[in-house]
């Protein structure tokens, strides 16, 4: 009979509709993206110092054990991000950055 020695607590948590790694603010989306681009756990961890190497390994293991569920979640996240981008585009206008920088630097003659 096999005995379970221990488990990894809270490899991933769901917070406001986004999966986060352990107790960090790093999204599972981020880890999976880098992992699927060929980065190993150590490379991912070096880019996000709030995660331990063990947390990165746990996140990758969670992804691999729940691949269908996570892939479905990632597709939904892309749809959500596209909707947000589209909504934000309503409020942007060409040249806005240039206008705001001119105002900040005091060189916009139309701004008082």
* Cut 0.85: pTM above it: no
For 11-63, the pLDDT digits (tens) are 899 999 999 999 999 999 999 999 999 999 999 999 999 999 999 999 999 99
- Candidates 12, 31, 32; CA nearest to 23 is 12
Question: What's the rounded Cα separation, in Å, for the pair 22 and 13?
Answer: 7
Looking at the domain that runs over 12-104, which CATH code has it been given? 1.10.10.10
Domain boundaries, the chain: 12-104
45 CA to centre of own chain: 14
Predicted confidence band of residue 112 (pLDDT cuts 50, 70, 90): low
């Amino acid at each position: 009979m096999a005995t379970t020695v221990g488990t990894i607590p809270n490899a991933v948590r769901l917070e406001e509709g986004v999966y986060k790694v352990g107790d960090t603010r790093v999204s599972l989306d981020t880890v999976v993206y880098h992992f699927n681009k060929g980065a190993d756990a150590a490379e991912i961890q070096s880019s996000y110092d709030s995660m331990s190497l063990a947390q990165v390994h746990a996140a990758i293991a969670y992804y691999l054990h729940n691949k269908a569920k996570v892939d479905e979640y990632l597709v939904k996240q892309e749809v959500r991000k596209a909707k947000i981008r589209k909504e934000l585009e309503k409020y942007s206008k060409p040249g806005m950055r240039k206008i705001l920088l001119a105002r900040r630097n005091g060189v916009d003659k139309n701004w008082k």
